[in-house]
Every structure is written in structure tokens, then in C-alpha cells.
Amino acid sequence: MIADRMQEFEASGIRKVFDLAQKIKNPINLSIGQPDFDVPEEVKKEAIKAIERGFNRYTITQGIPELSEKILEKARKERGIKGESIMITSGVAGALTLAFLVLINPGDEVLVPDPYFVSFKHLVHLCGGKIKFIDTYPDFELTPERILPHISQRTKILIINSPSNPTGVVCKPQHLIEICDIAKEHNLIIISDEIYKKFVYEIEYQSIGKFYENTLTCNGFSKSYAMTGWRLGSAIGPAKIINEMMKLQQYAYICAPSFAQVAGVKAMDINMDEYIEDYKKKRDFVCDGLKERYKVTKPDGAFYVFPQVPWGTDEEFVTEAIKHDLLIIPGSVFSEKKTHFRLSYAASYETLERGVEILNSLSKRL
């Protein structure tokens, strides 16, 4: 009765932890991949105004011009992105789904850095593609030397997620330039997931879309403005790709939520620097708190830390943490290895302090 393709899927490990959170009375929740601050008041008011004035119907598939033009203008001015066309999507998840469906034929090879965001693996399988994982351990850097051995005649796409979920690592500009040379030589399409681009700390951040025209750059409002439930994103890239994604969106999502598009225009005028600075301090608090007992690569961005488990497998360690009411995510949700776990520092300092304390107490097998 169920389609064969569903055999490739299982319930997300993240969702499993979310379900556990409902059963624990007072969990120390460091599992959630969303900001712990609320949508800015000005943005909420703009959404309410749009709803009250009746802007509740479908928009055009590609999104309202005010939003798409503003995103494209800022992307070109601030990040130097060369993409010629843009569409508004139902979050970055919507953008990635559309992109994979219009680009991947059965048997096409897709290069995915490991660790990876959970959706990449399953979307490639959905489309009948073949994944080649690029092992980036132990420093999680995506380098030309790590990419080259995986390229073959069937390689079509390279996925980049910078800053990364789950590691927080940001691709170095010099590596991006060298990766572009590889992509040009082998005629690869690059899909760049940049949903965490506002959450970058000391390191210089650049988009690969600045250096390589055959890049599809995906971004959204979920993390930067805490609009996770509003499902608002965008894709910038070659017109021939964007046009096909628009065609498919007509039959899938139809359009991104109308009121959220109006609010998105307003959101882009809001300065979020104080939130970014606060997350930088939280990153330092967690890394400093764990560094004596855990192997931790200090993240350059996003709001995650990806420590190595001090004993056992990732699932064994996370199971023990959950027994102490601490919710974290096994690293194998994001990786082919079972050696790490992900924690989110998008939480209050009180929660982070309790979490660090429990993790340090668990650093030696009980």
C-alpha cells in the first residue's frame, strides 16, 4: 500500500527527541534548532496589519515583488551574489525540496559534506539520487582536497551549508574560491544553504554565490528573525533553475504564506545585532564550560556545538543524558558516524548552565 520510496525514510531523530520533551516534566532542552527569542514586535504588527486588511489570499507563485526585489538587492549588495533570478519559497526546506526535485535524476551523484543537515540525505534519496558523503572530521572543514576524490562522471551537485548545522563551522573564503574552480572544471551545480548567515561571529563570512554563477543560494527568515513557523524563504540562482522551481511550486506549495511575505519586507529593516552578540556570548559560555572534559570544535556561527561523546556511542550517551532530563541530539542524526552529539545554545543562560553541569557530570561513564 505504501510507496517503496518511503522505505528510505524514518522518523527524524530530532522529532523523536521533541516527542520525549513532551513526556519530561521539566526538561533541560538543548535540542531545539530555533531561536529562543520571539519575532520582533514590529514584524508581528506588520503581519497583523496585513491579515486585517485582507491580504490573506494566494500571492503569485514566485512571491510578492516588494519582498523578492528587496532580498535580491541586499544579496547582491551585501554578499555579492551573482544569481540572476529569485523566487520566494515556503522556508528553506521548501526551496531545497523544489531544487532537488527539478535537478536530480535517478543515479545522479550528489556530494554532501558529513556532518550534514538531516534533510539533505533524505531529499536526495526521494529523488533517486546517489549520495557521496565527504568526510570532514575532525575539524569539519570543507576543503578541495576532501571533495576531489569523490567526483565522478555522474557527479552533478555539491551541497554547502555554511554556517553549518550541526557543527557551526563557516567555510573559509579561500576554500570557497578553490571549490569554485573544482565546480567549474566538472560543471557542477552548487546548492548553498545559508539559513544561518546572520549568526556568524569572528570569522569573515562570504557566500559561494559571489564566486560561482551556477549556484543556487537558499536563505530564509526562520532563524534570523525567529519566524520558524511562518515558513518564509528564498532561492536565488540561474533563471533556468528558478523557472523550473517556480513551475513545480505551482503544484506543490502554490506560494509562501501571504501575510509572512509582507512581514518579511519589514523584518529586513530590523537590526538583529544584539541577538547575534548574545548568541556569541552563549557559544563562549558553553564551549568554555565543556572544553576541559570534551573535544569541542568551537563553532564560527549558527547556534550549535557538536562535541565528541566521551564514552560509548552517541545514542548510548544521549540516552543517559535523557535519563537526567537533558535533551540533546545524537550526532548520527546528522552523520554517518556515531561519535558526536549536537546541542543548541539557543536557550536561556540558566538552561545552558544546568546543561553544562549535567554534561560534565556525565563525562565519565557512570
Give pLDDT, residue 3.
Answer: 85
pLDDT of residue 365: 74
Cell of 33: 534548532
Model pTM?
0.94
Tell me how far apart the alpha carbons of residues 142 and 134 are, in angstroms, rounded to a whole number. 8
| C-alpha span between 204 and 200 (Å, rounded) | 8
How far is 320 from 39, CA to CA, in rounded Å?
34
Task: Give the three cell numbers for residue 261.
Answer: 511575505
Q: What share of the chain is helix, strand, coil (3-state, %, to 5)?
A: 45, 15, 40
Residue 6's pLDDT is 82
Residue 20: per-residue pLDDT: 63
With both helix axes pointing from N to C terminus, report the angle between 118-126 and 91-103 in degrees, rounded to the nearest 10: 30
Q: Which three cell numbers stand for residue 145?
A: 582536497
According to the model, what pLDDT value does residue 4 have? 82
3-class state of residue 219 by DSSP: strand
Question: Residue 62 corresponds to which amino acid?
Answer: Q
Q: Which three-class secondary structure state does DSSP give residue 172?
A: coil
For 208-245, letters b (16+ CB in 10 Å) and e give: bbbbbebbbbbbbbbbbbbbbebbbbbbbbbeebbeeb
The phi and psi torsions of 295 (rounded to 5 degrees) equal -85, 115
Domain annotation for the chain: domains and CATH numbers? 4-39+272-361 (3.90.1150.10), 57-267 (3.40.640.10)
pLDDT at position 317: 96
The confidence score (pLDDT) of residue 263 equals 98
pLDDT for position 19: 67
10-residue averages of pLDDT along the chain (366 residues): 79 62 82 94 98 97 98 94 95 98 98 97 95 98 97 98 98 96 97 97 92 97 97 98 98 97 98 96 98 97 98 94 94 97 97 98 85
pLDDT of 14: 60
Q: Which helix (H) or strand (E) holds 149?
A: none
Q: What φ, ψ does residue 65 adopt, rounded to 5°?
A: -60, -35
- pLDDT for 249: 97
Three-state DSSP class for residue 71: helix
Question: Which pLDDT belongs to residue 2?
Answer: 85
Query: In angstroms, what is the C-alpha Rg of the chain?
Result: 20
* 8 A C-beta contact, residue 218 and residue 191: yes
Phi (first) and psi of residue 248, to 5 degrees: -70, -35
pLDDT at 29: 94
